[in-house]
Amino acid sequence: MNDGYVRLNTEGYGGMLCWPWMDRPLSAAGRLVVKEDGKLVTKLVKVNRDLLMIPSLAIHMNRKANEEHTFDRVNEMAPVFGMESDKGKFMDIVAEAAGVKKEDVLGADLYLYIRETGKIWGADNEFLSAGHLDDLQCAFGCMTGFLESSDSESVPVLAVFDNEEVGSLTKQGAESTFLKDVISRILDLSHKDEEQKRMVIADSFMMSADNAHSVHPSFPDKADQNNRPKINGGVVLKYSAAQKYTTDGVSAAVVKEIAEMADVPVQVFTNRSDMPGGSTLGNLSNRQVSLNAADIGLAQWAMHSAYETAGTKDTEYLVKLMKQYYSLSFVNEGNGVFSLKPQPRTPRP
């Protein structure tokens, strides 16, 4: 509590941009663990109203705010909840939104979220702006392509991991044994021995899908001088000499072949050689399940902002690519030779 106001104690998640969280309606969502009939039960919760805000400091009190600013996350990023008389009411509101009693709540994982809905805009409605486009856009495109694909001789697997922005070290993260355990159980049901399991994995191919940086209209010099992906220019194939991405010559060729089958344009992303970028889940999951893989994504602006922008056409491109990908049978013939076998178009019921 500060000078008559009640604020929440918060912590930044991952490599966030701080400014976009200021001066906009926020609320809370997540999960509660409650005691119910002698059992511990998880309840998802979303407070569906404008509840919180992080006010910025007026320019009159910080004349250099537009020139240089280092955020004090402890003090500046604590959202205002109410007045002094509202102290202690936050969990009452959260519990009510979940339909439970506050005294039954034994644990909680709660997060701030922005209240603005996603918007499609631009001269031809070509842009999409929303929260969490990195990486829900790829998750949506992959899931939709997975569901729309045809049956093949391969076993299609879609893995969507949590906690990528903070290192993927959780039990549900990409560096955990979760994917390996699931694949092992599938192969156990197929009565594969250990050697056959290793052969199946070696025959497999993975697409690691995570959004990529587009050339920024205000900061074009931040992009590599030769590889400059644009929003709505197609699926982005990502390379890194430092091996931050899994793409190599073989996997790049596989992606380009699938894209040609699906009639999807492909762009190339590399970081500027003097400006290291982030990493994705491909290499992390490959520590547990080693297989041929490529890193792809969709071009966007303002990555890690509270409100990001990407392209509507690119979403469609990813759906088409993943639909084609999941409809193929892969055969690794060794020495970097892959056969991609399209299957008859028989949609799943």
3-state secondary structure of 347: strand
pTM of the model: 0.89
Distance, in Å, from the CA atom of 349 to the CA atom of 344, rounded to the nearest integer, reads: 15
Predicted local confidence at residue 348, as pLDDT: 46
Residue found by looking up tokens 């890194």 in the block: 240
194-202 and 178-189 helices cross at what angle (nearest 10)? 120
Domain 119-342 architecture: 3-Layer(aba) Sandwich (3.40)
Distance, in Å, from the CA atom of 340 to the CA atom of 68, rounded to the nearest integer, reads: 53
Domain ranges across the chain:
5-114, 119-342
Predicted local confidence at residue 336, as pLDDT: 67
Q: How many CB atoms lie within 10 A of CB 118?
A: 13
Predicted local confidence at residue 277, as pLDDT: 73
Give Cβ neighbours of residue 240 (< 8 Å, ≥ 6 apart): 247, 270, 271, 277, 279
Predicted local confidence at residue 286, as pLDDT: 79
pLDDT along the chain (349 residues), means of 10: 87 89 96 94 97 94 86 91 95 96 95 95 96 93 95 89 78 85 90 88 90 94 92 95 88 94 95 80 78 94 95 96 92 74 53
Q: Which CATH superfamily is domain 5-114 in?
A: Aminopeptidase i, Domain 2 (2.30.250.10)
Predicted local confidence at residue 89, as pLDDT: 96
Instruction: Give backbone dihedrals phi and psi of 292, rounded to 5 degrees, phi first.
Output: -65, 135
- 5-114 against 119-342: fold identical: no
Distance, in Å, from the CA atom of 176 to the CA atom of 246, rounded to the nearest integer, reads: 18
Cα→Cα distances 311→126, 143, 146, 148, 232, Å: 6, 18, 21, 21, 5
**Share of the chain residues as helix, strand and coil, in percent rounded to the nearest 5:** 30, 25, 45
CA-wise closest residue to 21 among 111, 141, 148: 111
Predicted local confidence at residue 9, as pLDDT: 93
